[in-house]
Amino acid sequence: MWDPEEDFQKKMKLTDDDDVDDVMVIGIDFGTTYSGVAWATVEDFEGDQINLITTWPGTGREEGKVPTELFYEDDKIMWGYEIPVDGDPIRWFKLLLLKDEDLDDELRSSEFILRGRKMLKENNKTAIELIADYLRELWQYTIEQITKSRGESIVEAMTFHVVITIPAIWKGYARQGMEAAARQSGILASRPAGQTTLSFAPEPEAAALSTLSEPGRKPKQGDVFMICDAGGGTVDLISYEVGQSDPLAINEAVEGTGGLHGGIFIDEAFEAICKSRLGRRWDRLSKAGIKEIMKGEWEHAIKPQFKLGNTAKEFIVGIPAEAFGKSSLDDESREPLIKKGRIHFKSSHIQQAFTNSFNGIDRLIDEQIQKAKAKGLRVTGIILVGGLGASPYLYDHAKLKYASSGISILQSGGMKPRTAICRGAVFKGFLDGMNSGELAIPNLGMLDSPITITSTVSRASFGVSLKMPWDASLYSEEDKVWDTDEHVWKATNQMNWYLKRGENVVKKEPIRSSFYQTYRKDPGRAFTVSLLQCDDAIAPKRRTSNVVSLCEIKCTINKPYSAFDDFVNNKGERLKKFSYELEMVPSGAAVEFVVYFDGQKQGTQNAKVVFG
């Protein structure tokens, strides 16, 4: 919900004479396990053409996405498919942006998080630095591919707007970390055509934009579609009601939700099954041997093809000979049987790898359905997208569980489930340009949009804590404090909420509140405004343990202490008072907070957002 970019990065200043056709939107789906890129000019977008990058270094086959993996060797960075078979790449570093307290206990101690943190130390890198290294390689390759497609002179003349997708469940500090990584990567480097601008889009929102507007989809007014974006790390759900079918206009029906139930947890479960069956033989495997099993046998063969109804089928996984040493290649003492160095899994064994993740996805879906029912709405369809969303087993599982309730289960074919998010990021870039009066891309409003999001729902409450004049009928005795500056009793820890969880963000008007701080001596030029958030379903009236810090806006006061307003307290003492205003401004699916001194809005040069 938090967008630290000031007024959607109003740095792209085009004049009325500039040609809007010189704008290119590039969407980046930076995923936990795989990443993808899509792009379009205005002409492309008007012609319903969003271009995908499907050829990648290190592989001869077309792929909609590239592995989010890095390998460092002799001061050289290798990425994606380039990494050698015997290399031990750094993976899952996207999740390393999250603080330990924002991971549940099981995830915090999971092998891939521990392994990822170990690799950070071994390579003397932070998560932001790893992401920056990866984005640098991805960006340079992206520009090369776009240039090959359109020509160097045309691309050089284009002004870029980049949209990076992020999990909807991410906190503000993780989003700010992504912004820092993008800047370090060179994505925003100076170009002759003008300033490259950057924005972020929630992954499920991007998925909704691309999937609901696909040719062949014919949503009817009143339909409620749930987008289940099942990626490598996170699974995000968001439900939209169709308010208008032609042109398509949708509004977020209920508050979205998400969790860490993605494909890597299924991979981890399968690896644990293999380890358990092989025992000490697993420890003899080299990194290349483990990669052969997990990538070749599992990720590229069994996992994407596994589905219900194959109860009689065996799934055979070849184990490199190094695991057996001089011992027998056969072990039929228990299931799954090992014959001639190959594990013969039954369908029931493979299903075990999916169980925990699918249980988590079921809980999220059930929660969305119940929220819709509580508002008098009925979910009519579930659209599966993302890498795990392409799984035939997830499709079969969802159909078996929900089709009897009259809910249709939809799944795009081919590369589309894997590229829905980066394609949606391009939609998001253009739609924000069309709908935002602040976004300086003139004339974009003249474009015909195939889809519009008319409202979104806040997933948390946002506000500030303040002291109020004491009133025994309103406040708790535990909050009663003596204000030594003003010489009055006050109630501390009282919350002023700008936006409450469940409220419609788009329909909220800008809200500006006035505050002041008293001083007995010169406080200097630094001034900090603390913003708080709460995930409780009902926002509390006073600050509780569930009200936590969102961020701080660190401001610079551009006037001397002597110019502060005079203030005389109840004791007759003369103090100084500094007044300011804090305004919440809805901005698309997010909100921004802006500080005003003396009626003047503080820009990024005087107000820096810092997440804890």
Give 514-542 as a DSSP string.
EEEEEESS---SEEEEEEEEE-SSS--SB
What's residue 438's pLDDT? 40
133 or 16, which is more confident: 133
Is residue 118 in a domain?
Answer: yes
Is residue 455 in a domain?
Answer: no
563 phi and psi angles, rounded to 5 deg: -90, -5
Is residue 450 in a domain?
Answer: no
Print the domain residue range for 238.
Answer: 206-259+363-417
* Nearest CA among 128, 160, 152 for reference residue 28: 160
Is residue 358 in a domain?
Answer: no
pLDDT in tens, 438-451: 444 544 555 566 78
Residues 276 and 239 in one domain: no
For 422, the 3-state DSSP assignment is helix
Is residue 63 in a domain?
Answer: yes
Tell me the C-alpha distance between 27 and 52, whole Å: 10
What's residue 319's pLDDT? 96
For 482, the 3-state DSSP assignment is strand
In 187-341, DSSP assigns E strands to 197-202, 224-230, 235-245, 248-259, 314-318, 337-339
306 phi and psi angles, rounded to 5 deg: -65, 135
What's residue 21's pLDDT? 65
Counting the structural domains of the chain, the total is: 4
When pLDDT is averaged across residues 265-272 and rounded to a whole number, the result is 93
Q: Has residue 356 got a pLDDT over 60?
A: yes
Q: Has residue 435 got a pLDDT over 60?
A: no
Q: What percent of the chain has pLDDT over 70?
A: 92
Q: Has residue 590 got a pLDDT over 70?
A: no
What's residue 17's pLDDT? 38
What's residue 115's pLDDT? 81
What's residue 15's pLDDT? 33
Q: Has residue 394 got a pLDDT over 90?
A: yes
What's residue 6's pLDDT? 36
* Nearest CA among 342, 348, 312 for reference residue 329: 342
pLDDT in tens, 114-128: 888 888 888 889 999
pLDDT in tens, 416-430: 557 889 999 999 998
DSSP 509: P
Is residue 11 in a domain?
Answer: no
Read off the CATH number of the domain in which 374 is found.
Answer: 3.30.420.40
Residues 30 and 144 in one domain: yes
What's residue 12's pLDDT? 33
What's residue 448's pLDDT? 64
pLDDT in tens, 307-354: 887 778 899 999 999 999 989 999 999 999 999 999 999 999 999 999
Residues 44 and 99 in one domain: yes
Is residue 4 in a domain?
Answer: no
105 or 525, which is more confident: 525
The structure tokens 């003396």 sit at 598
Amino acid at 338: I
Q: Which region holds residue 407: left if phi is over 0, alpha if psi is between -120 and 50, else beta? A: beta
pLDDT in tens, 218-240: 888 999 999 999 988 889 899 99
pLDDT in tens, 167-204: 887 888 888 899 999 999 999 999 989 889 998 988 88
Task: Check the CA dihedral 594-597-603-604 and report its sign.
Answer: negative
pLDDT in tens, 36-66: 999 999 999 888 899 999 999 999 888 999 9
pLDDT in tens, 5-43: 333 333 333 333 345 568 999 999 999 899 999 999 999
Residues 54 and 182 in one domain: yes
| Strand 34-41 with 23-29, pairing | antiparallel
Is residue 471 in a domain?
Answer: yes
Residues 368 and 399 in one domain: yes
Q: Has residue 505 got a pLDDT over 90?
A: no
